[in-house]
């Protein structure tokens, strides 16, 4: 019978030799990095790595060991690259500047999605207060545009809901516009069914709301198959429409705040099917800035269309001991089944671990954009 203890001792000796050889290899990798930095060569040489993996795989005596060796050396070379990235200087993070705080006074111009009584307006006031200059916009695109062209210093947009998930249009617009997230605000959302005064629920035939309002109230609406739902702008904009149309067969899904703003009656409150229903709003600006105390990073990147590429990107976050809190994917227009990834992780843009993470992803992804660094709020 095989002596288990003796086998373990032999493995320990082999492991010790492997560690010694690994450290020798990493030291030589530093020399390689210095050469690449001095000559302007990129850290990642995909063709060289492929050739190396092919050659070490052939050294193995069995097919299984060959595949295992290839995987092992993929990880070793990945660790080597990560070490080399720490020796580089430039990265996108250097283009962001720190501010003490976001100004919150009557000279601060803010655009929010929707009209008076909207959840976005409420989120804006909870973050900025009321001593500001603000105005609404009818679409997410318009908010982004007003910030981009300087008509507003900051914009307020919903990006994620605890019931329905991420709002995909916002992710696409963060790529399209050169705007950045500088803060976030979380708002508890209680949807209500609003109508003209004196209306009975049995009279309602059409309900207007933003798609998110309809989705969040889906189970309530399923009880009334005779009611038709229509997507129409912001929730507050729908409340305003019900008032202006003066039609008792119409109702809107919006907030109690909107009911008060437009003098509507609340037919049913808390109709969202999840009791804990909160929306995360982002504060955007066209300035590349971050506030003192920022602890949350948002980035997006696209990848080479090859096996393991997403794993390699996320490994930079793991290697630098950072906590990833969210990942979202969006299809890339004009490309079949290729995606852009949006990732949130903890950290400040000044920290070495974050800088190293960004350097690695920047070097290995097809492209990367820092969407913002800000103070995170727990949902």
- Residues serving a catalytic function are 279, 281
From 106, 121, 66, select the one nearest 262 (Cα to Cα): 121
CA 304 to the chain's CA centroid: 20
Q: Which among 90, 294, 300, 292 has a CA at the least distance from the CA of 179?
A: 300
Sign of the Cα pseudo-torsion (256, 261, 263, 264, in order): negative
Mutual orientation of helices 63-85 and 4-39 as an angle, nearest 10°? 50
Helices (H), the chain: 4-39, 46-59, 63-85, 119-128, 140-148, 168-176, 211-216, 218-221, 235-245, 256-262, 309-319, 352-364
- Work out the number of other CB atoms within 10 angstroms of the CB of residue 260: 13
State whether the Cα torsion 133-138-143-149 is positive or negative.
negative
DSSP per residue, 177-240: S--EEEEEEEEE---EEEE-TT--GGG--EEEE-HHHHHHTHHHHTT-TTPEEEE-S-HHHHHH
Distances (CA, A) of 314 to 92, 163, 224, 261, 310: 18, 26, 46, 46, 6
């Amino acid at each position: 019978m095989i002596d288990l203890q003796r086998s373990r001792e032999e493995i320990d000796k082999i492991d010790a030799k492997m560690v010694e050889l690994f450290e020798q290899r990493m030291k030589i990798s530093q020399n390689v990095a210095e050469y690449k930095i001095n000559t302007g060569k990129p850290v990642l040489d995909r063709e060289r790595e492929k050739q190396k993996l092919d050659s070490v795989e052939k050294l193995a005596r069995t097919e299984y060991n060959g595949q295992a060796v290839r995987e092992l050396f993929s990880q070793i070379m990945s660790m080597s690259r990560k070490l080399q990235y720490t020796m580089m200087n430039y990265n996108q993070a250097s283009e962001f500047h720190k501010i003490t705080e976001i100004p919150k006074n009557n000279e601060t111009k803010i655009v929010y999605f929707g009209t008076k009584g909207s959840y976005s307006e409420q989120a804006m006031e909870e973050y900025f207060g009321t001593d500001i200059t603000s105005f609404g916009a009818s679409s997410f695109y318009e908010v982004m545009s007003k910030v981009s062209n300087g008509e507003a210093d900051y914009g307020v947009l919903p990006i994620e809901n605890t019931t329905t998930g991420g709002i995909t249009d916002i992710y696409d617009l963060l790529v399209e516009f050169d705007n950045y997230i500088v803060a976030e605000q979380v708002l508890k959302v209680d949807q209500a069914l609003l109508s003209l005064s004196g209306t009975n629920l049995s009279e309602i035939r059409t309900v207007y709301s933003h798609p998110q309002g309809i989705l969040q109230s889906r189970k309530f609406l399923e009880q009334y198959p005779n009611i038709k739902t229509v997507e129409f702008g912001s929730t507050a904009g729908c409340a305003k429409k019900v008032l202006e149309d003066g039609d008792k067969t119409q109702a809107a899904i919006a907030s109690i705040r909107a009911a008060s703003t437009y003098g509507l009656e609340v037919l049913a409150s808390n109709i969202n099917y999840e009791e804990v229903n909160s929306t995360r709003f982002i504060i955007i600006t066209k300035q590349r800035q971050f506030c003192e105390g920022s602890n949350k990073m948002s980035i997006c990147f696209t990848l080479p269309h090859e096996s393991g590429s997403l794993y390699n990107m996320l490994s930079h976050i793991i290697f630098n001991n950072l906590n990833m809190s969210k990942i979202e994917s969006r299809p890339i227009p004009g490309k079949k089944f290729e995606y852009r990834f949006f990732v949130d992780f903890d950290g400040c843009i000044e920290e070495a671990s974050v800088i190293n993470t960004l350097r690695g992803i920047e070097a290995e992804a097809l492209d990367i954009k820092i969407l913002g660094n800000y103070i995170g709020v727990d949902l």
